[in-house]
Structure 1
C-alpha cells in the first residue's frame, strides 16, 4: 500500500468534504494596464495577463501589487479558466486576471488548490457570445474536494515530481531550440555574392479573407481548408489541412495554390506557414505563391527564410489603429537566392533540426508529450475523491 493510500485509509476512509473556492479563498481582480503603461513604467516585476505563453507574462514594471503565495486565473478570452501558481515573487495582474489567496493555510495547501483548478476551472467557463469568461462570482462557486492536509501534501509531492521532470525536459528542449535558431540564422546569412530577388518579383501576392459568416452555405459541408492563426498554434508550420473548412461557393475566383506560404502581416506579425494543399486563409495573412519563372526555387528554403522575413516584419510596421506591416517596403524586401543545390543543402540541415525540436513523434517533443499525458492521467486520478455522505444519507444508514 502506498503512503497516499495509507493516509486516505487513516484520515478520510469514508470520503472527503467538498468546498467552494469562495469559502476557502480571498478573491480579487487585477487592474487595467496598457502596453503604454508597461513601457512608461518598465522594470523588473512581472505582469500576468490573459495569454498562456511565457507562463502568462504580459510584461515587466517597476512596481508590484502582490507578494504572496497565490493562484491567478484568466477571466476573459480564449484562455479563460487557465490557472497559474505563484510563490516567492512580487508581481501584478491585469484586469483580465483574478487572484486567489487561501484564507487558512494551516489546513489548506495552496498548490493542492492549484492542481484541482487545473482540472475543474475549465468546466465553469461560460463560452456564450463568442467571448469565453470565468468571472470572480463564478470562480467563487467552483467546488473542489478538500481532504485532510497530510493527504493534500502527499498529492502535491507526487504531482510536483511529474512537473519537475517535465520542466527539465522542457528546459533541454528550449536549449536545443536556441541552438537550432542560431544555426538557422547562420545558414541563412549570405554575402553580397548571392543574388537577391524582391518579394514582388518572386511571388504572386494576395490577401487572405474570411467568407461571409452570415451565409451558412459557405460554412456547411466545407471541403476547402481555411487557415487561421489557430492552425499554426495547434498544428505547426507545415500544414496540409485546416481546423475549419469552407464550401467551394465561398471561394473568390480560385483557391490559393498548394505550396504557398502564408505570413501574418497584421495582428500576430511574422507568424508563417507552408501550406501543401489548395486553400483559403483569413485576412491576417498575406499569401505568397511562387511565380512561374521561379518554379525551380526550393519552396521550403523560402519557408525557412521567412523566419528572417518575420523578424523584419516586426520592425517595419505602419502606424494606425492596429499593428500592420508596411506592405510597400514588404514587397521590396529582397530574398537571397543561392544556387538550388545550396538551397537543398540548407533545407536538409534545417529539416533535421526542426524535427528534433518540434516533431511530436520523435525525441524530446515526443517524450514531453508522453510525460504530459501521464501527468494528466495521474493528476485526474489522484484528485478524484468520493464526497462524504450527507447527514440525510448517514441517518438512513
Structure 2
C-alpha cells in the first residue's frame, strides 16, 4: 500500500466533500491591459494566453490559480505564488484558508477537470468566454490537507521529469541547428575541395503549385477509395486537408508553404495531392531529396510587404543552394537524420519519451484526482468556507 493509499484509508475512507469555489475561494479579475506589458518588467504579467509577460507593477501578492476569461478556455492554467500583475479579462482564484486547500492541488484538479465542467454548461460546441459565476460554481473535491499534499508531491515529480526532458530536447534542437548550418556552410576551401556548385532551385528541381481541392473526388476521412492525402500549407498534422483517389505528386519532394506559414518546409516521401498555397519541389537526379529538405530549411525567404504576403514558384526558383556531389550530400543527410530523429521523431527519441511521460502523467493525474463523494448524511454544513455540524 502506498503512502497515499494509507492516508486515504486513514483520513477519508468514506469519500470526500465536493465544495463550490464560492465557499472557499476569492474569484476576480485584474485591471491591467496589454499596454502595461514591459519587456524587462519586474513582475510576471498574466494575460489571456500561455505566454507570461512582464510588468513593472503588481496587483496581487498571493498564491493563486490564473485562468483566461476569453480564449483558451479550459486549456490555459497558471499557478502563481508571489507578486504578479493581471489582465482585466483574466481570473484569479485565491483560496482563503491554506489549512483547508493546497493551491497547487487545486491547480492540478482545475487542469484536469475544468474544461469538462465548462463544456457541460455550454450551449455551443466551443466556449469563447466565461464569467465569474461559472467559476464560482465549479466543485472542488476536498480531501484532508495531507492527502492533497501527497498528491501534489507525486504530480510535481511527473511535471519535473517532463520539464527536464523538454529542456534537453530544446538543447538538442539547438545542437541540431548548429550542426545543420555548419554542414551546409561551404567556405571557399571546402567548396573547392568538394567541387560544390551554387545553383538555383529552379535549375535543380521541377517546381509546381498546388491546385483547387477536387471536390467531386474528396473525402474528409480516409476510405478504401479515397486514400491519397490532400495536403495544404499547414504545419505538421494540420497540413492534412482530407483525401482523394488520385495523386498529383508521385515522387519524393519538398513542399514549401506559399502563404500563411510562408517558407515552412516539409519532406513528402509518399504520393499526395497538393492544394493552393503549397509549392512542390521535386529534385533532379543530382540532388538527394533529403539533402534538399535540410538545405531549404536554412533559406531566409524575402517576402514583399506590399499586397498579400506570399511566395510564388518564380520567386522560389531564383533562390540558390549549394550542391555538392551526391556522396557528400548522403554523408550530410546521414548525420542530420540522426539529429532529426532525436529531436522530431514521435516514434523514437526525446519527443517519444516526452509523449509517453505526458500520457503517464495524465493517467495518474486523473486517477489520483478522482474521489468518491461523501454521502450527504456524513457531510457537514459549510458556511464561509468552514465546516459546521448540525
- TM tier, shorter chain? 0.7 to 0.9
Closer, same or farther in 2 for the Cα pair 1:392/1:243, shift >3 Å? farther
| 1:135 and 2:127 matched | no
Q: Please state how far the C-alpha of 1:4 moved relative to its aligned partner.
A: 1.9
Q: In structure 1, how many angstroms separate the alpha carbons of the residues matched to 2:59 and 2:237?
A: 32
C-alpha separation between the residues in 1 aligned to 2:48 and 2:93?
Answer: 16
Which residue is equivalent to 2:27? 26
Alpha-carbon separation, structure 1, partners of 2:115 and 2:318: 46
Q: Deviations over 1:110-153 (max 9, x none)?
A: 11111112211232455987755362354444333121222111
Give the 3 Å change call, closer, same or farther, for CA 29–92 of structure 1 in structure 2: closer
Give ranges in structure 2 of 5+ residues lacking alignment: 381-390
- Distance in 2 (alpha carbons) for counterparts of 1:200 and 1:69: 59
* Counterpart in the other structure of 1:237: none
Matched, 1:372 2:362: no
Structure 1 residue 15: deviation in Å? 0.9
Q: How much does 1:8 deviate?
A: 1.8
CA distance in 1, matches of 2:214, 2:70: 26
Q: Is residue 72 of structure 2 the alignment partner of residue 70 of structure 1?
A: no
* Residue in structure 1 matched with residue 318 of structure 2 by the alignment: 332
Name 1:201's counterpart in structure 2: 203
- Give matches, 1:185-200, under 5 Å: 185-191=181-187, 193=191, 194-200=196-202
CA distance in 1, matches of 2:272, 2:148: 51
The structure carrying a bigger helix percent of its residues is 1
Deviations along 1:193-239, one digit per CA (max 9) or x if unpaired, are 432222333334444466388x89654654231235666168xxxxx
TM-score in terms of structure 2 length? 0.77
Is 1:176 the equivalent of 2:177? no
CA distance in 2, matches of 1:31, 1:92: 6
Residue of structure 2 aligned with 1:165, choices 132, 145, 161:
161
Equivalent residues of 2:17, 2:374 under 8 A apart: yes
**Aligned partner (choices 143, 151, 175) of residue 147 of structure 1:** 143
User: Pick from 295, 303, 312: which aligns with 2:293?
Assistant: 303
Distance change (3 Å), C-alpha of 1:227 and 1:19 = farther
- Alpha-carbon separation, structure 1, partners of 2:335 and 2:243: 36
Normalized against structure 1, the TM-score is what? 0.76
Deviations 1:358-379 (A, max 9, x none): 3344443343333323222221
Q: Which of the numbers 218, 243, 246 marks the counterpart of 1:246?
A: 243
What is the Cα-based RMSD across aligned positions, in Å?
3.8
Larger radius of gyration: 2
Alpha-carbon distance in structure 2 between the residues aligned to 1:230 and 1:128 = 30
How many equivalent residue pairs? 366
The answer as to 2:260 corresponding to 1:259 is: no
Distance 1:339 1:130, change over 3 A: farther
Structure 1 unaligned segments of length 5 or more: list them. Answer: 235-241
SS at match of 2:187: coil
1:1-397 matches, within 5 Å, as 1-23=1-23, 24-28=25-29, 33=34, 41-44=38-41, 56-57=50-51, 68-74=62-68, 80-88=74-82, 90=84, 92-93=86-87, 98-124=91-117, 126=119, 133=128, 135-136=130-131, 138-191=134-187, 193=191, 194-208=196-210, 211=213, 218-219=219-220, 221=223, 222-228=226-232, 232=236, 244-248=241-245, 255-281=248-274, 283=276, 285-290=277-282, 294-309=284-299, 312-313=300-301, 316-319=302-305, 324=310, 329-391=315-377
Q: Does the 8 Å CA contact 1:124/1:138 hold for their aligned counterparts?
A: no
Secondary structure, in 3 states, of the residue corresponding to 1:174?
helix
Give the Cα separation in 2 of the matches to 1:31 and 1:229.
Answer: 37
Cα shift readout 1:342-367 (whole Å, capped 9, x = no counterpart): 11000000011112223344443343
Q: Is contact 2:210-2:275 (8 Å) kept?
A: yes
Q: Secondary structure at the match of 2:321?
A: strand
Contact 1:81 1:134 in 2 (8 A): no
1:197/1:66 Cα in 2 relative to 1: closer, same or farther (>3 Å)? Answer: farther
